[in-house]
Amino acid sequence: MKRIPRVGLLGRAIPVVLAVATVASCSVASDLGDAAGGGRTSTSSPASGAAKAPATPGDPNPELARFYTQRPTWKSCESEDDDERAQAKAFRCATFTVPLDYSRPTGRTIDIAVTRKSAAKPGQRLGSLLINPGGPGGSGVTAAWWMSESTIGKPVQDVYDLIGFDPRGVDRSAPVKCMTDAERDAYVAEDLPEDPVRAEARAKERERAYAAECQSRSGELLPFVGTDNAARDMDVLRAALGDEKLNYIGFSYGTYLGATYAERFPTRTGRLVLDGAVDPAADNLNQAIDQQVGFDRSLRRFAEDCAGRTGCALGTDPKTAPRKAADFLDGLQEHPLVAGRGGRTLTSSLGWTGVISLLYGDKDTEWKYLRDALADAIVRRSPDALLFYADNYNGRDEQGHYDNSADAFVAIGCADGAGEAPTPAQVQAALARLKAEAPLLSRDVTAEDLTGENCESWPFRSPAKPHAIRAQGSAPILVVGTTGDPATPYASAEKLAGQLADATLLTFEGEGHTAYGGNSPCVDGAVEGFLLRGTMPPKGKRCS
C-alpha cells in the first residue's frame, strides 16, 4: 500500500492512505502591483458602520440575537513564539461567543479567537476584511499576523480592518485534540508494510485507534466543527464587528468556507475573493486523485528544471530525473537516513512530506530550497533539511510540540460529510487514471488503497454530501486559479466559478499554490482593484 502525504494545512500534511478525502491550503506572499485595468465594477459595497443585517441568520430565532449583538473586548495579543509576538504587536485580540450547536442556542457555548489590525487610514475605512488561510486547520489569527507583513497589500490595509480568526476546532478556538506529541511523531513517520494485505490491515488499525483517541479527548466537539458552522460563526463575527456585509479573502480550503458562507447568507456578501479554489461538488475520491495528479506533475516539472541546472542531485537528463527523485523517496522505506542531530530518522513518509511541502511554492524560491534539500539527502546523506520541511508541514516546532492543525483537518473534513464508499467500477477508473497520470506517486498503489468509506471509523456521521454551490443572490465573487497549482488544480477554480451564480475567474499562468500575494503584479492589481473599488477584471483575464 502506497502512503502519500495528505496535502493541505498551510503547507502541512498528514501522511495517510490515499483514500481519505483531501483539500489543500496555502502559503502566500504579497506586494501591491499595477492595476489590472478594465473590467466591470461590482455593485456590491463593503459597507461599514453599525450592523444593519437581521440579527438572526435565516430563521427568526430570537435566542440567537444575543450572539449577533455582542461586541468584542479588544486587548493585546499573546503568543509564546518570539517571531509571532513581534508580528502581533500591530494587532489587538479578542474572543466572541457562539453556540456550540446552532439548533440549541441556549445550550453550551464556545469562544472563537479573533485578531484585528485597524485600517491605517480610518477616514477612508471601507469596513472589515476577514481572511482564512486554508486547511482546514490553519490558524487565521496567526495567518493574519504574518499576512499583514507579506501578503495583503498596503492599500488594502489602509482602508480595511484586517481580521483573522481561528475557526471552531482550530488552535485558539475550542481546539480538537487527538494525539500527544509522541504519538504524532510515530504516526507521521511510520511507513506501512510493503505487503498489500499487511498494509491494509495496519492502515485500518491506525484509523480506528486515531478515531478512538479523538473521541476520547474531543468527543463533544466533533459533531459541530464542520464548515457550515464555521460559516455561521463568520456571520456572527460580521455583525459583532459592526459590518452590514462580509468582505473576505479565502485561500484554498478558505474558498470552500467562503463559498459556503455565500450559499447560506447570499444577501450579506460584500467583496469575496476565493483564491486556489476547491470544487465543492467533487466527490472525495476524485478530489484526492486530482491532487495526486497535480503533485505528480509538479514534481516532474521540478525535476526536469533541476536537471538543467549545475549540481542537480537528480542528474542531467530531464527524462530520468523525475523517476530518480521518486526512487530515492520510495527507497527511504528500506534505507532511512538518520539525522545528525537528535537521532531522528527520515522515513519515506517524512521524505515525501518534505518534498510535497516545497512543491506548494514558486519555482524561484521553494524549488531552490528543494534542490538543496535533495542534494543534502542524496549526495551528502544528510536528512536534516527534508526533516525540517516535513516538520514545518506537519506543524511540529523545534521543541517537538505539534499544533492541532492535523487533528482539526481530519475532524473538520469528516464533519463536513463522510463520503460513500466508491463502487468497484469507480475504484478501477480512479486507479487507471492515477497510474496513467501520476506514475511517480502511484507506483505501489493498489485498488484496495482506494476502497472503503471515507471517515468510516469516525465517531460522528454527518449527512452532508458534496454539492455544487450556486449562492444565488450573492454579490459578484472573484475566483482566482493558478494553472500549475498542484494542491487545488486549476480545473477546480474553473468549476467553482462556473457553479456560482455571479462569479468571475481570474487566471494566473504559473507554478505554486494560490496566486495573490507577490507572485504576479497583474494578479495583485486585479484582486486589490476588486477589494478597493469593486472593479472586476475583464472576463477571461489571464496573468503571468
Q: What is the pLDDT of residues 413-469, one digit of tens each?
A: 999 976 677 888 988 999 999 999 999 998 878 887 787 556 888 998 788 888 999
pLDDT at 10: 33
Q: Yes or no: say if 371 and 313 are a contact pair by the CB < 8 Å rule.
A: yes
Q: Yes or no: say if 395 and 405 are a contact pair by the CB < 8 Å rule.
A: yes
pLDDT at 28: 32
pLDDT at 399: 92
The number of CA neighbours under 13 Å toward the Cβ of 123 is 0
Q: Yes or no: say if 503 and 269 are a contact pair by the CB < 8 Å rule.
A: no
Contacts of 245 (CB under 8 A, 6+ apart): 44, 45, 46, 47, 53, 127, 238, 268, 269, 270, 475
Among candidate residues 252, 442, 474, 520, the one labeled active-site is 252
> From CA 69, how far away is CA 55, in angstroms rounded?
7
Q: φ, ψ for residue 460 (rounded to 5)? A: -110, 130
CA 137, 141, 146, 148: dihedral to nearest 10 degrees?
130
pLDDT at 30: 29
C-alpha closest to that of 354 among 394, 300, 296: 394
pLDDT at 228: 96
Torsion 227-168-114-102 (CA) sign: positive
Looking at residue 269, its amino acid is T
pLDDT at 444: 79
SS3 538: coil
SS3 103: coil
**Set of cell numbers at residue 244:** 452590514
Beta bridge partners of 22: none
Q: What is the pLDDT of residues 357-406, one digit of tens each?
A: 999 988 888 999 999 999 999 999 999 999 999 999 999 999 999 999 99
Residue 404 DSSP code: S
- The more confident residue out of 138 and 54 is 138
Helix-helix angle 384-394:348-359, to 10 degrees: 70
Is the pLDDT confidence value at 288 over 90? no
pLDDT at 58: 45
Other CB atoms closer than 10 Å to residue 516's CB: what's the count?
29
- The more confident residue out of 83 and 153 is 153
Looking at residue 262, its amino acid is A
Output the DSSP codes for 31-70.
----------B-------SS--S-SSSSS--GGGHHHHT-
pLDDT at 509: 97
Q: Yes or no: say if 528 and 271 are a contact pair by the CB < 8 Å rule.
A: no
Q: Yes or no: say if 438 and 292 are a contact pair by the CB < 8 Å rule.
A: yes
Name the one residue in this structure whose C-alpha cell is 485558539.
Answer: 172
Parallel, antiparallel, or unpaired for β 109-117 and 160-165? antiparallel
Name the one residue in this structure whose C-alpha cell is 486559479.
Answer: 481
What residues does CATH 3.40.50.1820 cover in the chain?
62-175+223-282+468-533
**Set of cell numbers at residue 509:** 499562468
Contacts of 249 (CB under 8 A, 6+ apart): 129, 130, 131, 132, 152, 272, 273, 275, 516, 527, 531
pLDDT at 187: 95
Is the pLDDT confidence value at 5 over 90? no
pLDDT at 419: 66
pLDDT at 16: 31
C-alpha closest to that of 372 among 302, 301, 296, 297: 302
Q: Kindly state the average pLDDT of the residues 152-179.
A: 98
CATH superfamily, domain 62-175+223-282+468-533, is Alpha/Beta hydrolase fold, catalytic domain (3.40.50.1820)
pLDDT at 50: 38
Is the pLDDT confidence value at 49 over 80? no
Looking at residue 375, its amino acid is A
Q: φ, ψ for residue 129 (rounded to 5)? A: -125, 110
Q: What is the pLDDT of residues 229-268, one digit of tens each?
A: 999 999 999 999 999 999 999 999 999 999 999 999 999 9
pLDDT at 46: 67
Contacts of 59 (CB under 8 A, 6+ apart): none
Among candidate residues 228, 243, 449, 513, the one labeled active-site is 513
pLDDT category of residue 332 using cuts at 50, 70 and 90: very high
Going from the C-alpha of 455 to that of each of 17, 221, 227, 417, 528, the distances in angstroms are 12, 16, 16, 9, 39
Catalytic: 103? no
pLDDT at 60: 57
Please count the residues of the chain: 544
Among candidate residues 243, 296, 407, 485, the one labeled active-site is 485
CA 410, 415, 418, 419: dihedral to nearest 10 degrees?
-90
> From CA 516, how far away is CA 448, in angstroms rounded?
39
pLDDT category of residue 171 using cuts at 50, 70 and 90: very high
Q: Yes or no: say if 374 and 309 are a contact pair by the CB < 8 Å rule.
A: no
Is the pLDDT confidence value at 32 over 50? no
Going from the C-alpha of 255 to that of each of 242, 274, 316, the distances in angstroms are 23, 5, 40
CA angle 248, 252, 255 (to 5 degrees): 40
> From CA 270, how far away is CA 47, in angstroms rounded?
8
Q: What is the pLDDT of residues 505-516, one digit of tens each?
A: 999 999 999 999
> From CA 506, how far away is CA 496, in angstroms rounded?
12
Q: Kindly state the average pLDDT of the residues 319-332.
A: 97
Is the pLDDT confidence value at 20 over 80? no
pLDDT category of residue 35 using cuts at 50, 70 and 90: very low
Mean pLDDT of the chain: 88
- The more confident residue out of 320 and 421 is 320
CB environment 299-331: b (16+ within 10 A), e (fewer): bbbbbebbbeeeebbbeeebeebbebbbebbbe
Catalytic: 335? no
Q: Yes or no: say if 175 and 404 are a contact pair by the CB < 8 Å rule.
A: yes
Catalytic: 513? yes
Q: Yes or no: say if 485 and 519 are a contact pair by the CB < 8 Å rule.
A: no
pLDDT category of residue 47 using cuts at 50, 70 and 90: low
Going from the C-alpha of 55 to that of each of 63, 70, 97, 228, the distances in angstroms are 10, 11, 15, 18
C-alpha closest to that of 460 among 301, 224, 246, 217: 224
pLDDT at 223: 95
pLDDT category of residue 13 using cuts at 50, 70 and 90: very low
